[in-house]
Structure 1
Amino acid sequence: MFRHLGASREIMAEIESRQPTEPLGTDSETLYGLGLELYAYLIFVNCLTPYGFLHERQFYLDSFIISPSSLASYSTFGIMFAGLHDLFALIPQISLLFRDRLIDQESGIIEPSIACVELHTQLERCLEDWNLSQKDLVSPFLSDDCKHDLSKVIKILQLGIEIYLVASMQGLSIVNPKIVCQLQSHVDGILDLALALHYSQWSPILLWPIVISGSCIVQRQQQKHLTKALRESKYRMNHVTRTISLLHRLWGNPDPLIYGPYGLYLTISQSDTTFSIL
């Protein structure tokens, strides 16, 4: 996946460099805009480890990754994100916080640095202040059922991002019982909502929060429920099978560090560095 993303980025850079003298036609520009959004989406949902920690999972923080709303000029904008682009854009920024927090801890700095606290506060505020804008919806005429499902999708993504944000600030290990209880509460919420959306059109974009929350599941019954739901996915694709295998390796590891996003990072680094989701 990441090699393909790297090659795609080179093609996009080549197209951009030719724009002044060889501007794209209408049809080509439409396809290009869709390609940029798909590329950004794949970057976001594969931010599962601290930024830059695994060479095999390197990616660039291009301007449209930091601010995907810059793609709004393309007619296809919103096809992948359904208006949730600014929520997705928080994910790679949290992976930067995760990296910085781990670097501090590994150098002997136990308490979060001022820079980490400031970045955490900024990201937390962005998450709390986010609201879905009607102008960002692909279709402003959603049915009541679709609106209801979309509200669940938003909540799942918000809870997944909050898990990632909270866990990233903890760094190497999560030992505070209050934090563990908070994460478990978010896991409960995600699983309840996700199971209700199991057969909906929205299920394909829920795998990132499912994997992040899955890394925090310690209850055997919940592990079984999630495994069953993934196995019965109507999208019978290889990345879903790999997701099940990855989570089973994480759950089966008795090391107390193998919990949460840091445990997910260790599991990926030890067993499947090229793991990717769509």
Structure 2
Amino acid sequence: MNAILALSGGHLLYKLPDNQEIHHATHRHYSSTVQTLYQVLGDGSTLSEPLALLRVTLTILILFHYEVVSGNLDGSPFAHLRAARQLVLNLRSKYHQSMSAAEQKLYGFVMEVYSYIVLCNSITPFNMNCNRTLIYDSFLQTLDDLQGLGAFGVMFSGGHHFFELISSISLFAAQDPDLDRHEEYRQLRAKISALESPVPKERDTKLCSGRSATLEVCRIALLAFLETASSPFSKYDTTRMQHLQPLLDVAVLNLPQILPSNYSCILMWPIMIIGSCLMEEDQRAVISHMLLHNQYGMKNTTQASMLLDLLWKDSDGHAFGPYGLGLLMNRHNLDYGII
């Protein structure tokens, strides 16, 4: 409960930044949560039960959300996430052991939230920013084992196959560009091209349209990440930009109509990837407006606009795309987190 109240306070402080009562109350709830976690984690016997392990893991994931919503750019959100990983691995090795149906549903929820956070924070080549580095465990590349646990789709909204490819592209982007990577590039591009939107259960035409547009934007973001990672990419390379620009045009055209939909909650990863590749001023303005004026009203979306603006103004030719985001965060000591 203290973690949830701290997170609520983090949201309130975005709208009421000068309210000292909310500030102090939020800090108290956060401190109480951390102290309780230290006590629980210090007593190994407490975590012998699956439900206790699930609750502690979920609490740490809530603290990650608190750090991001509060605008902390010092890497502290990712420290929480690395701690959560150890518990997640423990859960994956033990969750078959006498879990009730309710516990399995909570396990599926926790696993999907953790997977979503790790994948949507993969906005640079792997290990480019030390404080932000998260390990890509093999289960992040296939989430189908969560489908029968009762909570599947709560985070990915039917787009898990799109997000599963993010870690592979991030790892590909981190490879030595002097190596022959053509075959791996070809395979990744083929996988992206083969992605299909799942057949929706709902019949609501508006919902179906929002889902299709969102997943198409995710596909374009995957392609943009891959294309800018395949070899050193300069934003002044007009030939390669002409190849990339038609994809960006489609994405920017779709984004404003997705924002009011139920699927806007999974837009931050594609927005950061696509936004980092934009050269047209009018398209940059669309992205900035979406990040500064949206229904969520959170500090981290404002920070995303700030980060992209710094990238767009940087004269370095390599200050472009996911690599450019990593370069910029290193230069300015900004360990930006996404939720």
Same-fold status (TM-score > 0.5)? yes
1:119 aligns with 2:184: yes
- The percent of aligned pairs where both chains have the same amino acid is 26
CA apart distance, 1:54? 2.1
User: Does structure 1 retain, via aligned residues, the 8 Å contact 2:126–2:133?
Assistant: yes
Counterpart of 1:262 in structure 2 is 323
CA RMSD of the aligned region, Å? 1.8
Partner of 1:5: 81
Conserved? CA contact 1:64–1:71, under 8 Å:
no
Pair 1:250-2:325 in alignment = no
Computing the radius of gyration from Cα coordinates, the structure with the larger value is 2
2:194 corresponds to which of 129, 146, 168: 129
Query: 1:95-106 counterparts in 2 under 5 A?
Result: 95-100=170-175, 103-104=176-177
Q: Could you tell me how far 1:53 is from its partner in structure 2?
A: 2.4
**Letter of the 2:82 counterpart:** G
Q: 1:13 to 1:240 in 2, by over 3 A?
A: same
Question: Which residue is equivalent to 2:20?
Answer: none
Match of 1:54 among 129, 134, 143: 129
Distance 1:193 1:133 in 2: 19
193 and 27 in structure 1: CA distance in 2 versus 1, 3 angstrom threshold = same
2:171 aligned with 1:171, yes or no? no
Bigger shift: residues 155-164 or 125-134: 125-134
CA distance in 2, matches of 1:93, 1:195: 28
Q: How does 1:34-73 map to 2 (within 5 A)?
A: 34-73=109-148
Q: State the alpha-carbon separation in 2 of the partners of residues 210 and 18 from structure 1.
A: 36
Report the CA distance shift for 1:200/1:141 in structure 2 as closer, same or farther (over 3 A): closer
Structure 2 vs 1, CA of residues 16 and 211 (structure 1 numbering), >3 Å: closer, same or farther? closer
The TM-score normalised by the length of structure 1 is 0.88
Q: Is the 8 A contact 1:160 1:209 kept in 2?
A: yes
- 1:217 maps to what in 2? 278
Select between 178-187 and 87-96 the one with higher mean Cα deviation: 178-187
Give ranges in structure 2 of 5+ residues lacking alignment: 1-76
Distance 1:273 1:74, change over 3 A: farther
Q: TM-score, normalised by structure 2?
A: 0.73
Does the 8 Å contact 1:167/1:174 carry over to 2? no
Q: Give the 3-state SS of the residue equivalent to 2:230 in structure 1.
A: helix
Segments of structure 1 that go 5 or more residues without pairing to the other structure are none
Choose from 67, 76, 81 the match for 2:156. 81
Which aligned pairs between 1:183-222 and structure 2 lie closer than 5 A?
A: 183-222=244-283
Task: Give the SS at the match of 1:185.
Answer: helix
1:81 positional shift: 1.2
String of CA shifts for 1:17-53, please: whole Å, max 9, x gaps.
Answer: 4446x53222121111101011111111110111122
Q: CA deviation at 1:83?
A: 1.9
Q: Is the 8 A contact 1:156 1:190 kept in 2?
A: yes
- Equivalent AA in structure 1 for residue 112 of structure 2: E
Query: In the alignment, residue 165 of structure 2 is paired with which amino acid?
Result: L
SS in 2 for 1:92: helix
Contact 2:185 2:226 in 1 (8 A): yes
- Structure 1, residues 168-220: CA drift from partner, whole Å, max 9, x if none? 10235355423201222222211110011221111121111111111122222
Distance 2:127 2:244 in 1: 25
Amino acid at match of 1:132: S
Equivalenced residue count is: 263
